[in-house]
Every structure is written in structure tokens, then in C-alpha cells.
Chain A
Amino acid sequence: MTHHSAFSLFAKALGGHKDWPEQWPDAAPKPAYDAIIVGGGGHGLGAAYYLAKKYGITNVAVLEKGWIGGGNTGRNTTIIRSNYLYDESAHLYDHAVKLWDGLSQELNYNVMYSKRGVMMLAHNVHDVQSLQRHINANRLNGVDNEWLTPQQAKDYCPPLNISPDARHPVLGAALQRRGGTARHDSVAWGYARAAAALGVDIIQNCAVTAIRRGADGAVEGVETTRGPIATKRIGVSAAGNTSVVMQMAGLDFPLESYPLQALVSEPVKPTFPCVVMSNTVHAYMSQSDKGELVIGAGTDQYVSYSQRGALHIIEHTLAAICEIFPIYRRMRMLRTWGGIVDVTPDRSPILGKTPVKGLYVNCGWGTGGFKATPGAGDLLAYTMAKDEPHRINAPFNLDRFRNGRLIDEAAAAAVAH
């Protein structure tokens, strides 16, 4: 792997960027591995990287049925924050935010993490009380979050409409300054490149079709569209398709898969300095470094694997955006798309062991998985390497749906459920 630096970029620029080598080899599957990760998104590639980097398990394959980062990693709105209410969630998401810091240096690949601040708007008395409760809970957990008056919110984000006559007046806002955005494709590519350099095989166009188990029930390998592969350890990080993969091992999961849509506008000059979310009017927005406004909202209402959604959801989202930010009323939208998100009953992820020996799972991130990418990868790697969960992901086990210790995280989505 060639090392990237300011000098190497400059040298390539002089050559017209014509001779960039491939960043990692397109591997073919070997007959056996020490560990297999199912799902080549940011979470799965991250897990493979940390398995190799931290725990010395380098004989690892990442199996991706499509192309690297082509699922939810490339379909989200790239928002990073950790202002979650409950202790367990705050620790989990802040673990990821701490890893985002310095990730570009660690991977030697620019993931463009930008701490531009995530601002959540309060439009009514309930919002004010709820957000202030979040701020207090966050501070007790060492997560930064602060209250802004409407004028302070306007100063932080000038396009905001704080007129008292607005349909949804802004009564204040909660701001997490460490929150922000990152370039989602770079996260997948950076992890893939760094993992491959440590010996991990990244195998695309390789769908898992069955999970093989021995007489004692433990996993012995997988059947794939590119032939059988033997392994004693499988980490499933397959987002919306987790239920399908788990059923190959005979496990029914507390998950439902919904389309989550997002859209971008035509690119314009920088006008929008941060991320703004509103639970009440059901929308969130930021501006990418390319200049597009990146907009998202809630999921579609029915279970689907279609990777597209209904137009009336988009109309609802844009009506909310136009109300809060009147300056964008004449902005034209360029593209919309959908990703399939796996939602748990308590809106918190499942990250840990399963009843099947050698089978580990990282799923249920619902509408908010991107922000957790480095943390989820790190914790899945820990759980697979030690065969026990780290204390941060221990509460996010599968048993909680049986013993009732749910983590009922209303802040799990940026928008109300």
C-alpha cells in the first residue's frame, strides 16, 4: 500500500492524476478463513480492519453481495452525533465519535470528518423540555450538548427562519458542537484499503446463501454464490438483510426492514454551515462539500427490500424544509434514493453474540447507523476476538427482548417515530 501524503497528492496532480494504482486488490475467496464478515459496508469493513489491527486476526474475509459501500453506507445522510438520552446509548455512540477523531490519520485516508455541529430545533414546550432533558443527561455522561436561544441558533445557522409567525416557530435549539458530517464513501474505501493492507480479503459480488453448522451446532462455514468457505467465526453486519442471513442459521430476529429515503439538491455555493434536525416537522438537512443540500426524514411505513420509497414521503419532507428554511423554496432537487434499514422494537442496535456458537451479529441500527461506523466495527471485532461483548456493547444484547431490559431510545432517529 502506498502511503498518502500532501506530497504524494501533489506529485500525482502534476501527472494529471493519471497513474493512481488500485487502492486494494479485488480478492477471490480462499477455501477457509479464521473469520468471515458478512456485509461490506462501513461497519463490516471496520470490523475486519480492527480484527486485523487490534487483535492480530488477519486471515479474514469480508463478503459483500454487491459492491463495497453500495448499501446503506453510500445511502445515508452522513450525520455524526452522540447526543442520546440513556447512559448505554451515550457510551455506545460517544465511543464512535471518539474514534471519528483521528480516523483519517489512522487510516491514512481522508474521511473528511467535519465537526460543524448538529443542531436540534425545539418548536413547542414539549420539545424544549425534552431537548433540555437530553442536554442534562448528555452532560452527565460527558457528551457535549448545549442550549441555544432562537437568536443564538440563527447566528449559528443564518438560513434558519426564527420568525414568531412561522408555522413551526423556533423556541430554541440543542447544539452538539462535536457532531457533524463525514464523506461516507471515503469511510468504506479507507477501511477497505487499510484492512486489505493488513491481509484482509475483500470479496465483492459474493452473496452468502447458507450457513453451515456442525453436529454441536457451531458454525463451520458458509455457502456463497462463489463457492463454499470454511470458518469457525462469522460476524453478520448486513443491515436491512440481517433477518434473511439470520434465518440461514435458523434464528428469527426482532427486526423489521424499512426503506429510508434521502435526497440532494443541485449543488450551490456554501450557504448552510451545520446540520439541523427537527423532530416535530420531521426533517433534517446539511450541505455537502460538493454543495448539495443533503436532506432526509423518517422511514416509509411498510416493510420493504425495494431500496426505493414513496414520493409522498419526499413531499412531506420538503414541505417541512421549506417551512423552516424559506430561502430554499426555489431550490431544485437533483436525486432521491432509498436504503433498507433494519429497525428493532426499542430503536437500539443489537451488537453481540447469538445463540449459535461462532455466530456474531451487528444489526438493528435503524435510521442511525452511519455515525456509529467506527464504534460498531471496533466493538464487533472485540466481541468476535474475545468471544464475549465489550462492556460498552454488553447491554445491546439479543436477550434484552426476553428479559425486558430494553434500551428504549427515542433519540435513536433524528426524527420522531
Chain B
Amino acid sequence: MILIHCPYCDEKRPEIEFANAGQAHVARPLDPSSQSDEEWEAYLFIRANPRGRHHERWRHVHGCGRFFNAVRDTVTDKFETTYKAGEPRR
């Protein structure tokens, strides 16, 4: 089982304590009514889905309950780093 470092608890905990919450740094449009269909499509549906380095959100559901961001390699599933929500993209 994968061990994931929670940046809030500052502990490595087993994967079953966490829930994946999809791609990270997908920002909701600040002015929704000005968005075109193409921009809504990109925000709602288009995902990076990279083969390699991937930024994603996780939630420590069975721990502190907080969301954080992670960088993981999607070929090896190895975590490169985790960092708190709101911190710049790594």
C-alpha cells in the first residue's frame, strides 16, 4: 500500500486514509457569466491526464479531513512531494 505524507499532520499514512480529489490547480472562473462555451468545456471537462508527472488534490478523509496538493508520477505511482492547499504549484 502506498504511504502518503499529509502536509498538515506531517505524517506518512496509508493510502486508505485518503481520498483522491482529481487534478489540482483547476481554478473556477472568477466571472462565470463572461465565460464562453469553450472556456466552460476546458474548466469542467478537459483534464491533463499526463503519463508522468501529475499535480493532483488529495483529502486526508480519515485524518485531519483537509485538502492538500501532491505531485505524483502516474507511471510509477511514486509521490514526489505533497504541499498545503494555496501554496504555489511545484
Seen from chain A, the residues whose Cβ lies within 8 Å of a Cβ on chain B are 241, 243-244, 252-257, 301-306, 310-312, 345, 401-403
Interface-facing stretch out of B26-34, B37-45, B81-89: B37-45
Distance A255 CA – B49 CA, assembled complex (angstroms): 7
Most buried by B among A243, A303, A304, A345: A303
Q: A256-B49, A257-B49, A312-B15 are known contacts. Are A402 and B74 too (CB-CB below 8 A)?
A: no
Q: Which residues of B contact A345 (CB under 8 A)?
A: 44-45
Residues of B within 8 A of A256 (CB): 22, 47, 49
Asked, given contacts A255-B49, A303-B56, whether A402 binds B77 with beta carbons under 8 Å apart, the answer is no
Q: Are A312 and B16 in contact (CB under 8 A)?
A: yes
CB-CB under 8 A from B50, the residues of chain A are: 243
Task: Flag if B1 contacts A311 (CB, 8 Å).
Answer: yes
B residues less than 8 Å from A241 (CB atoms): 51
Nearest-neighbour CB distance to chain B for A232, whole angstroms, equals: 27
Chain A nearest CB: distance from B63 CB in Å?
Answer: 16
**Within the complex, which residue of A303, A304, A305, A401 is in contact with B41, where a contact is CB–CB below 8 Å?**
A401
A304 touches B74 (CB 8 A): yes
Inter-chain contact A304/B77, CB cutoff 8 Å: yes
> Is B77 within 8 A of A306, CB to CB?
yes
Q: Are B20 and A402 in contact (CB under 8 A)?
A: no
Instruction: Count how many chain B residues have C-beta atoms less than 8 Å from C-beta atoms of the other chain.
Output: 28
A402 touches B47 (CB 8 A): no
Name the B residues within 8 Å of A243 (CB-CB): 49-51
Closest-by-CB residue of B relative to A302 is B20
Knowing A255-B47, A257-B49, A310-B1 are in contact, say whether A303-B37 is a contact too (CB < 8 A).
no
Taking a contact as CB atoms under 8 Å apart, the answer to whether A302 and B56 are in contact is yes
- Please give, as numbers and ranges, the residues of chain B lying within 8 Å of A312 by CB-CB distance: 1, 15-16
Contacts of A257 in B (CB 8 A): 49, 74
* CB-based contact A301/B19 at 8 Å: yes
| 22 CB < 8 A contacts A-B | A243-B51, A252-B42, A252-B46, A253-B49, A255-B49, A256-B47, A256-B49, A301-B19, A302-B72, A303-B49, A303-B54, A303-B74, A304-B74, A304-B77, A305-B74, A305-B75, A310-B1, A401-B44, A401-B46, A402-B37, A402-B40, A403-B37
Interface digits, B1-16 against A, CB 8 Å rule (1 contact, 0 not)? 1100000000000011
Smallest Cβ-Cβ distance to A257: which chain B residue: B49
